[in-house]
Amino acid sequence: MSKLSSQQFRRILSARLPVFSPRPVWPHSRWVSFWASPIHHSSRSIWYCSLHGKLSCRFFLHQIAPAMFPDSICPICLASEDHPSHFLFLCLNKFSVW
């Protein structure tokens, strides 16, 4: 299989994505606090994706593109299904990065 550009990959996945609400229902003050929080922008991006139900963990990727992601096992620990809780909190190998 040849490598896909990010645009090609996005087009393939966007055709199969479930419909989510555009953003969590938070008051303006909570969003201001979120954006002002003193965390690295890459970490904030992961949390933002999580809040919007767009986290790129294997659990969702397998559902959207099973040919490209034949299983939903965590690629880091290879011991558990990579669902959002595992991706964010439960994978001990990822925990040291967080």
- The per-residue pLDDT for range 17-34, each reduced to its tens digit, is 555 455 667 888 888 888
The per-residue pLDDT for 22 is 54
Average pLDDT over residues 45-54: 85
Report the alpha-carbon angle 72-47-80, nearest 5: 25
Confidence label for 1 from pLDDT (cuts 50, 70 and 90):
very low
DSSP string covering 3-46, please? PPPHHHHHHHHHTTPPP--SS----HHHHHHHHHSSS-HHHHHH
What tokens appear for 49 in the block? 């994706």
Chain centroid offset of residue 95 CA: 16
Average pLDDT over residues 30-58: 86
Q: Can you give the pTM of this predicted structure? A: 0.63
**Could you tell me which residue, 42 or 24, shows the higher pLDDT?**
42
